[in-house]
Amino acid sequence: MINIVLFGKPGAGKGTQAAFLKEKYDLVHISTGDVFRFNIKNETELGKLAKSYIDNGDLVPDEVTINMLSSEVKANPGAKGFIFDGFPRTIAQAEALDVLMSDNLMKIDGTIALEADDEILIQRLLERGKVSGRSDDQDEAKIRNRFEEYNEKTAPLIDFYKKQDKFHSVNGIGTIEEITERLSAVINTL
């Protein structure tokens, strides 16, 4: 079993790469955004709770998010492993994820950060925004704000996972195939 956290700034290619890695290693891909959308759309108890926070303009508390992820992990008892995409985003979330994994007799084997220059990522996101319709990908000021939030809240995870000897950095610039090869080279060492 192998469990991976994939992180990087918006536009770094996490979702694209997670789809390839999921197939290659037969892993379950857990995207926090997808889990939220599923639970809200299907009006699960957790979805209704999350929606109540979102509707008030508040962030969904970590406890609610962890409970959703716990449900996803438990719904896949025969999994060969998981790719967590979009979570954790803070040290408190990383600690909660470690507890969740331990409670299920698992652990995070490695975290891989897709690294890319901000200006390249901005161009990627602006291009994606033309086809995705996502308003947060169409405004450069909003994109830069998301990068600031990442630097402030998510970048400290690097030290958290370095202390556990689980942090790996991968160049996120190149063809999709080249980046998948770089990620695979890291995964194969875990």
Provide the residue count of the chain. 190
- Give the residue numbers marked as catalytic: 14, 89, 128, 134, 146
154 is in an annotated binding site: no
Whole-angstrom CA distances from 37 to 10, 82, 137, 150 are 18, 19, 18, 21
144 is in an annotated binding site: no
Contacts 24+ apart (CB under 8 A), 32-38: 32/65, 32/68, 32/69, 32/84, 32/85, 32/86, 32/87, 33/86, 35/68, 35/69, 35/72, 36/60, 36/65, 36/68
189 is in an annotated binding site: no
32 is in an annotated binding site: yes
174 is in an annotated binding site: yes
87 is in an annotated binding site: yes
Amino acid at residue number 39: N
146 is in an annotated binding site: yes
Neighbours of 122 (CB within 10 A): 18
33 is in an annotated binding site: no
**Which residues define the annotated binding site for ATP?**
11-16, 128, 174
**Which residues define the annotated binding site?**
11-16, 32, 37, 58-60, 86-89, 93, 128, 134, 146, 174
**Which residues define the annotated binding site for AMP?**
32, 37, 58-60, 86-89, 93, 134, 146
